[in-house]
Amino acid sequence: MNGEGTSVRAMTYNIEDVRTADLRRTDHPRLQRAAARIQHLAPDVLLVNEMTYDQPGDPGYRAGDPEGRNAQRFVHHYLSTPQADSLDGLSYRTVMLPVNTGLHSGLDLNNDGQVAPAVPEIPGAPEDGSVPPQTDAGRTYGNDAWGFGTFPGQYGMALLVRDDLTVLRDSIRTFRLLPWHEKPNASVPLDTTSFEPWYSPAEWAAVRLSSKSHWDVPVRLPNGEVLHVLASHPTPPGFDGVARRNNHRNHDEVQFWSDYLNQAAYVEDDSGRGGGLHDDAPFLVMGDLNADPDDASIFRNAIRHLIGHERVDGGVVPEASPARQADYPDLDPDDTSRWGARIDYVLPAATVAVDDAGVWRPAPARVPDVPVSDHFPVWVDVRVGP
């Protein structure tokens, strides 16, 4: 290591269905423990998956409030306050943007013959901080939303950036509205009993590629370099029936980043600007991509192509420490989920230097009855620029 470049610790963490009512509290047990882990690892750039984007229709939203403030609530109520005597509070700038999850489509996208007319009654969060259960009514509604969610904004994303780094907000690109059919060679779901397209022509013209959103957030570092955070959370490749529509969608959501790096002609952001990421731009692909390169059941395995992309340093594989790996003998060292899969990623550009990387797992003896999440934090230390 020659010490050149600006050092950045980038981390992704799926905290599992964090809701607005949780973030209005200052004593939420899961969020206190999640904040302690974040303070221990002290990332400079942090992507949180599954944090509700607060807006009308969200059961925790209050009429008249500004939208998209949950990331600020998390920083103010939890991260800025030390969660143990040995930890320091952290201060971040926040980016929170709309997502497709839980937004009513008005279409019967799961072909069950019914379209829920409105957001159903949502169970409140348990006092112990555990994740609220889903209901049949919630699933019926969510399966016809643009992205699965039992209410608008559920399972959103939040990007937190260290205070002395500058988010170039006017240059943020989002791809939430990009129609799936615009992607050449799109992985069109088929009904495997009739071999007809799963979606009607009208549905296929309307359905969106991104189940949450895809973001390109440029961050200016102290040395003047601009690091692009490419953030997303594709749908899990399951829970989808005979057409495997979520498998197909996950494939194309993951492949979008390969297309973006290739500057594919179809790429157009929500402002109407076309084109992908220019060749010399340093970047990190971050998020819960819901795809394990070792899982042969995943449709066509787009994650392997992304990891193997010429612009990506796919040789960087974060792993648990030897002690924590010994504590989780049923998991592989690179598994980022409790059920045994590598699905959470910080994939650096081949043009940035990598100093260290890891998957953080708690010591089992210290795990409370209510786990913080079914995912572990994943971090990578990089150096950017001269």
pLDDT at residue 170, rounded to an integer: 98
pLDDT tens profile 114-129 = 998 899 999 888 888 8
At 369 the pLDDT is 67
Mean pLDDT computed over 47-76: 97
- Taken as a whole, the chain contains a residue count of 386
Task: Say what the pLDDT of residue 238 is.
Answer: 80
Contact 344, 382 (CB under 8 A): no
260 vs 365, residue with greater confidence? 260
Distances (CA, A) of 141 to 54, 125, 149, 251, 260: 18, 19, 8, 24, 32
Confidence of residue 232 (pLDDT cuts 50, 70, 90): very high
228/219 Cα distance (integer angstroms): 6
Q: Is residue 1 part of a domain?
A: no
Give mean pLDDT, residues 50-55: 98
Q: Is the pLDDT of residue 3 over 80?
A: no
With respect to residue 51, please indicate whether it lies within any of the assigned structural domains. yes
Residue 368 resides in a domain = yes
Q: How far is CA 67 from CA 54, 235, 345, 377, in A?
A: 6, 24, 28, 27
**Res 21 pLDDT > 60:** yes
Q: Across the strands, what pairs with 288? A: 344
Residue 250 counted as domain residue: yes
| pLDDT on residue 127 | 83
35 in a domain, yes or no?
yes
pLDDT higher than threshold 90 for residue 306: yes
Q: DSSP characters for 12-76?
A: EEEEEEE-HHHHH-S--HHHHHHHHHHHHH--SEEEEEEE----TTSTT--TTSPSS-HHHHHII
- Does residue 71 lie in a domain region? yes
Is 31 a domain residue? yes
User: From residue 372, how far is each of 9, 13, 195, 247 by CA, in Å?
Assistant: 22, 11, 42, 27
What's the confidence (pLDDT) of residue 155?
A: 98
DSSP 3-state of 283: strand
Q: How many domains would you assign to the chain?
A: 1
Three-state secondary structure call for residue 93: strand
Q: How far is CA 307 from CA 176, 254, 317, in A?
A: 23, 10, 10
Q: How confident is the model at residue 263 (pLDDT cuts 50, 70, 90)?
A: very high
Among 96-110, 125-139, 248-262, which is the least confidently predicted range?
A: 125-139
The pLDDT of residue 1: 38
The label of the residue with tokens 């594709």 reads 234
Tokens linked to 89: 């509070």
- Residue 202 belongs to a domain: yes
d(CA 200, CA 206): 10
Q: What are the tens digits of pLDDT across the range 171-211?
A: 999 999 999 999 999 999 998 888 899 999 999 999 999 99
Over residues 251-273, the mean pLDDT reads 98
**Hey, what long-range contacts does 80-86 have (CB within 8 A, 24 or more apart)?**
81/35, 82/39, 83/32, 83/33, 83/35, 83/36, 83/39, 84/36, 84/39
Which amino acid belongs to residue 337? S
- Max Cα-Cα span within the chain: 62
Q: How far is CA 63 from the centre of its chain?
A: 27
- CA pseudo-torsion sign 63, 66, 71, 76: negative
pLDDT tens digits, 37-51: 999 999 999 999 999
Average confidence (pLDDT) over 149-174: 97
141 Rama sector, left if φ>0, alpha if ψ -120 to 50, beta otherwise: alpha
CATH code (residue 337) = 3.60.10.10
Looking at per-residue confidence, does 70 or 192 come out higher? 70
Cα–Cα distance between 316 and 380 in angstroms, integer?
A: 9
Q: Retrieve residue 195's tokens.
A: 């071999």
Residue 336: HSE in the Cβ half-sphere, 13 Å Cα cutoff? 26
Q: What is the 3-state secondary structure (H, E, C) of 340-352?
A: CCCCEEEEEECCC
By three-state DSSP, how is residue 78 classified? Answer: helix
More confident residue, 50 or 237: 50
Per-residue confidence band for 368, with pLDDT thresholds at 50, 70 and 90 = low
Average pLDDT, the chain: 94
Domain enclosing residue 36, as ranges? 6-384
**pLDDT at site 367:** 62
Identify the CA nearest to 57 among candidates 120, 107, 123.
Answer: 120
User: Which pLDDT belongs to residue 366?
Assistant: 64
Q: What is the SS3 assignment for 232? A: strand
Supply the pTM of this predicted model. Answer: 0.96
DSSP 8-state secondary structure symbol assigned to residue 119: P
Question: How much is the average pLDDT of 68-75?
Answer: 98
